[in-house]
Amino acid sequence: MTSDVIQLVLAGLLLGGIYALAAFGLSISFGVLNILNLAHGEFLMLGALVGYSLFAALGLNPFASVLIVVPVFAVAGAGFYWLLLKPVSRKAGPEKLVASVLITLGAALAIEDLASFLWERPVTGIAFSMPPLEIGGVVVSSLRLMVLLTVCALAVALQIILRRTFAGKAIRGVTQCVDGARVVGIPLSRISAVTFGISAATAATAGVFYVTLFQVTPSVGIPLTVKYLCVVVLGGLGSLVGSVVGGLILGMGETLAAYFFGSQWSPCVAFGLLIAILIVKPEGLFGARG
Amino acid sequence: MATGFRKTVRAFMVALLLATVVPAWATEPPKEIVIGATVSQSGHFSSEVGPFKRLMEAWADLVNKQGGIELKEYGKRLPVRVIVYDDKSDESTANRYYERLATVDAANLLLGPYSSPLTFAAGSSAENHQTPFLAICANSPKIYSRGFKWLAGVIDLGPRYTYRYWEMIKAEGKAKSVSFVVENTLHPLGVFEGSQKLAQEAGLDILSSDIVPPDTHDFTPVIAKLRDKNPDIVYVASNIPFAVNFMKQAREMKINPREFHCTHHSGVFREALGEGAEYVVGQSYWVEGMKLGDAGLIKDLLQSAKISEPMYPWAPAYVAAFQIVRATLEKAGTLDKKVLMDTLKGLTVETVLGQAQFHETGYGTINTYPSQIQGGKYVVIWPSGAATGAHVYPRPSAP
């Protein structure tokens, strides 16, 4: 029983790594731009389909295909912002939120339908595997461990970018005070586009790892966005550390709930945690008050 | 007064004209046979039947090239037109489209959607509009227990879906225990219900049964229990996406039973798992090399529709359905719906998958065979009269 629980905790942590990576981008776009991007899951879906296509056509290792996916989706994300969201970026708070929800929801549905049209059947994952590790009777999936390590590396890299580069400091400046950032001459549109590009690139990277583990269909985007929104709220809007911790908590929660109460209770965990955190600490575990 | 009389006479003449012309329109013979259906071109079930609209159109083209179907009542051969919508693997969408097919599109006969849940929903539309409905890949007993008069199905009921597999296990006498992992949807639950009894009759101990939500991503809790139980057979009753996710994680967590049985194990499953799919047993209606019915028709239609059978193993069941439809129309000789339905229910016809008949409640007699993936190919392993190869048990990597 003890080894089962250790197995489950590990599995939950590894699953949570994928959630964390996908939630990064959502956290950044909401925390910095005050835009609720309901098309976030679509970038994950598209990243998964691109990762699958690169594997199927060229036999490219998923970890290597990330090197192609990141720059492509960074540009695509920036383009998405310029075309669809920049026109509403100057609106006041609630108007901007509603407009961003409607625009990104419409975009999500359009992307979903286009992907359904182009991919005849859902991608049931790629036949890429790594031999598992076994330590003291506990089996650890090497693939999921690599994903978790990649997530941690990306989190560190993003923190370095945010603290050491001009773009990163500008992003933090915009998060703290938009008007102040404008006054000191930070090009808001450009920084917003960069932020959105980072958001899309992290989602697409999560998609590449997602398709090595799970099935992907063109319709996974919106349900996943809702789940990652729970992770973001749990961890705190705009907090990268919060996204990682929130993802890990959700992963562990789902796995343990399935073992002790039955698999049918697993989907409730995300919403249960969301309700709990909104009652106890509405700003999230690592979010700032006020 | 004379003007009023003239008006009356004119009205009478118009009425007389209509009374003679309208009946003439009404008795004008139909110009074509309209067959309606939906296919899951997108959504959850598209991995099972996504391109099957092309299959239906290929069949219609083949029939029309042969001159159509002879209907004695009209003294001529009529061409076939198929109308196919995308049900998006969604029950309410399927129901809406079958309503449309039965009314606006005036289909003479309906072919059912893929899967028990969608067929369960769509069957009501056919019943309400009294249109013959032939279910194809749908075998939940719930579909046939509603007393519907306008519904028949090609295949046998779900609880008997894998009866040949359990016959084989009993005859071989090697396996002693089984654990079930079941996707919580209509068809897998029906299969599980029957397989539990058949496994017990085959003398196996049932060590565990886990019924799991269909969109489960993490199977660690289930697999952890399986590792503790260590059954000879892990039997996964599910659709393909569920089975793929489970098998990937089972491999990662190094569970190693003597056999994996995944009820649906098509080429899509095999492609997603690679060598992890080797020696997995599943169910097939037909594989290349089987001595069953006229395989030529299967091959011709699949070639015309550009569909690969291993990737879409339910295609032969659809071909059998087309043959049943054609036989029904030819025997009935009319497009009168009541006559068509009575003819269908009383039909006995040889198809590419063997003889097809219908039970009183509507379900059919065609069933699957256990097939094992060996060297990337599908081999039917039981019974000996239909088998194309031998059953490999235990799996070479099993202890």
For chain A, the three-class secondary structure string (H helix, E strand, C coil) is CHHHHHHHHHHHHHHHHHHHHHHHHHHHHHHHHCCCCCCHHHHHHHHHHHHHHHHHHHCCCHHHHHHHHHHHHHHHHHHHHHHHHHHHCCCCHHHHHHHHHHHHHHHHHHHHHHHHHHCCCCECCCCCCCCCEEECCEEECHHHHHHHHHHHHHHHHHHHHHHHCHHHHHHHHHHHCHHHHHHCCCCHHHHHHHHHHHHHHHHHHHHHHHHHHCCECCCCHHHHHHHHHHHHHHHCCCCHHHHHHHHHHHHHHHHHHHHHHCHHHCCHHHHHHHHHHHHHCCCCCCCCCC
Over the stretch A87-117, which tens digit does the pLDDT of each residue have?
A: 888 777 788 888 888 999 999 999 988 888 7
Which residue spans within B138-198 are E strands per DSSP? 151-153, 177-183
CA distance A20 to chain B (A): 15
Count of CB atoms situated within 10 Å of the CB of B368: 25
Structural contact between residues B132 and B332, judged by C-beta atoms closer than 8 angstroms: no
- A215 has a chain B CB within 8 A of its CB: yes
pTM: 0.80
Q: With bands split at pLDDT 50, 70 and 90, how would you rate the model's confidence at B44?
A: confident
| Cα-to-chain-centroid distance, residue B219 | 28
pLDDT of residue B175: 97
Best CA proximity match to A27, nearest among A198, A279, A257: A198
Q: Average pLDDT for residues A202-224, to the nearest whole number?
A: 85
* Residue B299 to residue B292: CA distance in whole angstroms: 13
Q: Which of A8, A121, A264 sits opposite B46 (nearest CB)?
A: A121
Chains A, B: CB contacts under 8 A, how many? Answer: 110
Least confident interval from A27-41, A59-73, B135-149: A27-41
Burial letters B300-309, b for 16+ CB under 10 A, else e? ebbeebebeb
Q: Average pLDDT for residues A126-134, to the nearest whole number?
A: 78
CB contact under 8 A, B46 and A134: no
Q: Which of B41, B240, B275 sits opposite A124 (nearest CB)?
A: B240
Selection from A40-54, A177-191, B164-178, B269-283 with the highest mean pLDDT: B164-178
With a cut of 0.85, is the ipTM above it?
no
Cis omega (within 30 of 0) for bond into B383: yes
Residue A136 scores a pLDDT above 80: no
Alpha-carbon distances of B183 from A34, B200, B279, B283, B362, rounded to whole Å: 40, 21, 21, 16, 26
First to last CA, chain B: 107
Q: Average pLDDT for residues A133-156, to the nearest whole number?
A: 80
CB contact under 8 A, A213 and B248: yes
Least confident interval from A135-149, A244-258, B327-341: A135-149
Chain B residues lying within 8 Å of A217, measured CB to CB: 43-44, 46, 241
Which of A7 and B249 is assigned the larger pLDDT?
Answer: B249
Q: With bands split at pLDDT 50, 70 and 90, how would you rate the model's confidence at A123?
A: low
Q: With bands split at pLDDT 50, 70 and 90, how would you rate the model's confidence at B25?
A: very low
pLDDT of residue A15: 81
Which of B143 and A128 is assigned the larger pLDDT?
Answer: B143
CB contact under 8 A, A127 and B220: no
| Cα-to-chain-centroid distance, residue B356 | 14
* Residue B289 to residue B100: CA distance in whole angstroms: 41
CB contact under 8 A, A7 and B224: yes
* Residue A56 to residue A45: CA distance in whole angstroms: 16
* Residue B247 to residue A151: CA distance in whole angstroms: 25
CB proximity under 8 Å: A 110-129 to B: 116, 120-122, 124-127, 129
Residue B309 scores a pLDDT above 90: no
CA distance B240 to chain A (A): 8
Residue B294 scores a pLDDT above 90: no
Residue B339 scores a pLDDT above 50: yes
- B344 has a chain A CB within 8 A of its CB: no
Average of per-residue pLDDT values in chain B: 91
Over the stretch A6-16, which tens digit does the pLDDT of each residue have?
A: 888 888 888 88
**Could you give the percent of chain A with pLDDT greater than 90?**
17
Q: Average pLDDT for residues A66-77, to the nearest whole number?
A: 93
Residue A120 scores a pLDDT above 70: no
pLDDT of residue A173: 82
pLDDT of residue B18: 62
Q: Which of B42, B241, B251 sits opposite A124 (nearest CB)?
A: B241
* Residue A73 to residue A205: CA distance in whole angstroms: 9
Residue B38 scores a pLDDT above 90: yes
pLDDT of residue B2: 55
Q: Strand B80-86's sheet: what is its strand order?
A: B80-86, B33-39, B109-111, B133-135, B151-153
Over the stretch B95-124, which tens digit does the pLDDT of each residue have?
A: 999 999 999 999 999 999 999 999 999 999
